[in-house]
Amino acid sequence: MKDSIRIASGQGFWGDLPTAPVNQVKQGNVDYLMMDYLAEVTMSIMQKQKLRNPDFGYARDFVGVIEAILPEIAAGKVRVMSNAGGVNPVACKDAILEIAKKAGYKDLKVAVVDGDNILDDLDQLIADGHLLENMETGKAISTVKEHLLSANIYYGAEPMVEALDAGAQIVVTGRVTDTGLCLAPMVHEFGWDFDDADKMASGTVAGHILECGAQSSGGNFTDWETVPDMEHIGFPIVEAYPDGTFVVTKHEKAGGLVSTMTVKEQLLYEIGDPAEYITPDCVADFTSINLEQEGENRVRVWGIKGTPKTPFYKVSASYLDGYKISGTLVYAWPDALKKAVRAGEILKTRAEDLNLQIDAYNAEYVGYNGCTELPAGPDFDRDTPDEVQLRVALSGPSRDDLNRFGMELAPLILTGPSAVTGFAGGRPKAGEVVAYWPALIRKTAVKPRMTIFST
């Protein structure tokens, strides 16, 4: 058993800072790189990509990250945990193995954790009595089944631990819990028992602190002006110990700030009942967390309590729920706000005259001084805007009707209030509205799958 391990956050979402994961590996010693790519809506995006191209459906920029740090992975300096596989982890694995083979790396082990995608299994699951009722409305998933885009189980740390135990250097998963990406290395290295709820809670809290990238090392911080060198912000690192305590820190020369307040703000992110943070691995009690500033950019965390895991997995599903369209125009002085308000009224009336199917119409009047330079110094008049951006947004069941509305925006330039600009992107086009469907399913109904591959 190791005395401690260092787990580095490298990605808080798909599209996060591209240099962050490479810097985490290159700028100092870390044992594990944890990369979280998946939000709820991301799975539906990836599913649509896979339908267009069967080789897609995963975070393809992840492969570039692996290519950049292959020397460190092959040398055994770091192992990588990521849910970048999305809805196609096998294709993600194939791409990784291809670049590794081209670079001449032999015996590189890549694990795939999947079995989370249940979209094709729904008929059988429903027939077996798993109705997947919406956790908010109580409706059965059959009510939206024909519109479903994705349906995935949130698996926990266990299949990832199995992968690490089998020697995987890179673990690529589909939909797993963000926190499990961090908990799994702790269980593997320290030999923790999955029935030890306090230890599971400790690893879960550590994962929660790391999952949003730089959000716990000074990014998106309330007191942002106190964060040094934000241009070169370092992502957080957890130094974990076998007793369940850990320290949140960052690389010494990286920018950013790790303090009790930056960590506390992240701990409050996306939680409901703080005494019952429910994951597949345990129920963590956030009210039991103790924090102290141990040194510069070092926050010690300890005393975390947990209770046993529930018999359910969470299901994250998404479905098509109509269409939306939005467009903007900018109105200039004089009376910019009056012009924008009147233009919004005109557009709404014209939509009604066309008998378009519209569920919701919203007009916003955004800011000012987007086209002129602000005066120097802190004091300038904010009461009389020089320009206002009109933003109109509509939703409805018909893509064609919303696209017809999109044809009304440009004509307003010559058939509405004067001094308008900002229409340079062409007619807006309607896009899909993707709605979220959260549900629970008994763990006995599904099973994760782990497979090891190598170059």
Burial readout 131-153 (b: 16 or more C-beta within 10 A, e: otherwise): bbbbeeeeeebeebbeebbbbbb
| pTM value > 0.85 | yes
CB 59 within 8 A of CB 86: yes
Per-residue pLDDT reduced to its tens digit, 197-223 = 999 999 999 999 999 999 999 999 999
pLDDT score of 1: 84
pLDDT score of 377: 52
Residue type, 420: V
Residue type, 11: Q
pLDDT score of 15: 93
Query: What is the rounded distance in angstroms from the CA atom of residue 38 to the CA atom of residue 81?
Result: 13
Q: CATH number for 320-437: choose from 1.10.10, 3.40.50, 3.40.190, 3.30.70.
A: 3.30.70
pLDDT score of 21: 98
Distance from the Cα of residue 196 to its chain's centroid:
28
pLDDT score of 376: 53
CB 261 within 8 A of CB 223: yes
> Which residue ranges make up each domain of the chain?
5-116+154-310, 320-437
**Residue listed under structure tokens 């897609």:** 56
pLDDT score of 425: 78
pLDDT score of 380: 46
Burial (CB count <10 Å: 0-12, 13-18, 19+), residue 335: middle
Q: Is 98 helix (H, G, I), strand (E, B) or coil?
A: helix
Q: Which of 219, 222, 217, 277 is nearest to 248 (CA)?
A: 217
Per-residue pLDDT reduced to its tens digit, 15-38 = 999 999 999 999 999 999 999 999
Taking the chain (455 residues) in runs of 10, the rounded mean pLDDT of each run is 96 95 98 93 88 94 97 98 97 98 96 96 97 97 95 97 98 97 98 98 98 97 97 98 98 98 96 96 98 98 98 96 96 91 96 97 80 52 73 97 97 95 88 95 98 96
**Residue listed under structure tokens 């120097």:** 376
Q: Is 244 helix (H, G, I), strand (E, B) or coil?
A: coil
pLDDT score of 180: 98
Q: Return the number of other C-beta atoms located less than 10 Å from residue 3's C-beta.
A: 8
Query: What is the rounded distance in angstroms from the CA atom of residue 204 to the CA atom of residue 184?
Result: 9
pLDDT score of 426: 85
Burial (CB count <10 Å: 0-12, 13-18, 19+), residue 115: buried
Query: What is the rounded distance in angstroms from the CA atom of residue 72 to the CA atom of residue 54?
Result: 31
Query: What is the rounded distance in angstroms from the CA atom of residue 303 to the CA atom of residue 318?
Result: 37
pLDDT score of 51: 86
Helices 197-210 and 180-190 meet at what angle, rounded to 10? 130
CB 18 within 8 A of CB 61: yes
